[in-house]
Amino acid sequence: MAKFFADFAPLSSDYSGAVVGFVDDKINFCPSFSKLDSLLSGSLTRSVSKSKFTGKRYEVLEIIAPSAELEEIDKVLLVGIGSAENITEFDWVQLGGVLSSALLASETQKSSVYLDRYGDKSCDSRIAVNVALGVGLAAYSFDKYKTIKEEDDDKPRVKLKSIEVTFAVSDSKGVEKIWKDSIDPVLRGTNLARDLVIEPANVLSTCDFVKRTMALQDNGVEVQVLNRDQMQELGMNALLGVSKGSVTPPYTVVMKWMGAPTDENKASEPIVFIGKGVVFDSGGISIKPSSKMGDMKGDMSGAACVTGLMHALSCRGSRVNAIGIIGLVENMPSGDAQRPGDIVTSMSGQSIEIVNTDAEGRLVLADLLWYAKEHFKPSVMINIATLTGAIFIALGDKRAGLFSNDDAVSAQITDSGIATGELVWRMPMGTEYEKLIKSKFADMRNAGERGGDAIFAAQFLHRFVGKVPWVHLDIAGTATGNVTKVSKSWAAGWGVRLLDRWVRDYREKSL
């Protein structure tokens, strides 16, 4: 796995190694690069004029050994930003991702990035940290289990063990503080979530997942684990029914970060984040087709997101009271497995007819939502889960489905999604969908007809929410397999940046 190291240094004219600059579509160099071009007798300007480089956003031009006089400069990378007008925060993150890919492709371990493109004004610190975030996100890879080196045309490929990038900025100390206090914890939380999703189920069992959450105690997070007996005593029969066919024991993990100022009476009204943690989903008795069943090791992406989020919030000392709850189970077929036609009684007391054992995530979340509502009296509950293939059919892999009983929180999360590039689309709910859930033999059934299953699942979950403001994020289309400029890995760690941003913008400010 390539590790990313970010450093922030004052602006200087000491150019060496790989030098990186951003150029707009008018080919305007920043002051540092204008000086460099002069030192190189105009070779940068000539190289651009002789190439097809136009400065279009995300375009890259690599200039190898641009000068015999300045041998200490190995190469120059120019990254196009397009029009400098209306460039967004996430555009800079994506530009960092493009730069990261270019550095990896050119096998550049160390480089310096100059960001003083605003002339006499100090570089906007947010630009520097957003570019750094994009580099770090795109540099992530997971090759923990690879022992054989890849070869291309009989030439061994160099696998960089690390990427070291120095960002030359006007206010290096200020930028470094923002990075360490706010951005790097989110990067690490995202990559923690990615690690958890990619790990195979024979390594990341429910037991091992519990051990991984225990590491959060080093950050000041209080971790409580409920075992099977404790969950049975609570009446969590919907969750427990999913795990019946597996030899792997079920757990509920509660992670508490109480970061609100002590003089604020917020302890009784925390935000609760709830994640589905099916470490492997075979479908149970309603077994899935064999094609791509191996991808079902990622059916715990919601739990991974909540764990990564709690890491981020605690590491940056978020001034909020947040509780993360994850339900860890494995859904397997066996002689002990739950059957279609079974009826279980959830923690809420409501009975559920099991129509399809592959509609298991909503059973896990049902008990977790009720548990959160009853035990913690939350101000808001947000659950996140790879819940339905139907949401992928509806929205593809570019947006997650958002379902909610609260317009204000929905609008806030939508805005946070735009800011971070983790986009959501609000889907409908309403009483007209209630008939889909009706069962002849129980209070409700866990699956309906083929059409509208994502809405069915949300409407099902809503029965366990009560009047608490609530958001359900269905990330079945966005959690895995979606390669972007900032995510080259199969696992995206989707949701950590989105929810951290929502907390930062809409919950911490209210304290």
User: What does DSSP say about strands 271-281 and 321-331: parallel, antiparallel, or unpaired?
Assistant: parallel
| Gap between the Cα atoms of 107 and 403, Å rounded | 44
Q: What is the DSSP letter of 468?
A: S
3-state SS string for 76-94 = EEEEEEECCCCCCHHHHHH
Angle subtended by helix axes 301-315 and 206-214, to nearest 10: 10
User: Which DSSP letter does residue 112 get?
Assistant: E
Q: Which residue in 110, 188, 288, 339 is the catalytic one?
A: 288
Structure tokens at 478: 């966005």
Nearest residue to 95 via CA among 127, 131, 139: 131
Question: Length of the chain in residues, anyone?
Answer: 511
The Cα–Cα gap between 309 and 304 comes to 8
- Amino acid at the residue 77: L
288 is catalytic: yes
Nearest Cα residue to 231 out of 370, 386, 380, 351:
370
Q: If DSSP states are collapsed to H, E and C, what string results for 324-365?
A: EEEEEEEECCCCCCCCCCCEEECCCCCEEECCCCCCCHHHHH
Strand partners, 183: none
Catalytic position from the list 194, 276, 316, 362? 362
* Beta strand residue intervals within 65-176, DSSP E: 73-82, 110-114, 151-152, 155-156, 162-169
Range list of β-strands (E), 396-469 = 400-404, 424-426, 444-445
Q: How many angstroms separate the CA atoms of 75 and 67, rounded?
A: 9
> What are the catalytic residues?
288, 362
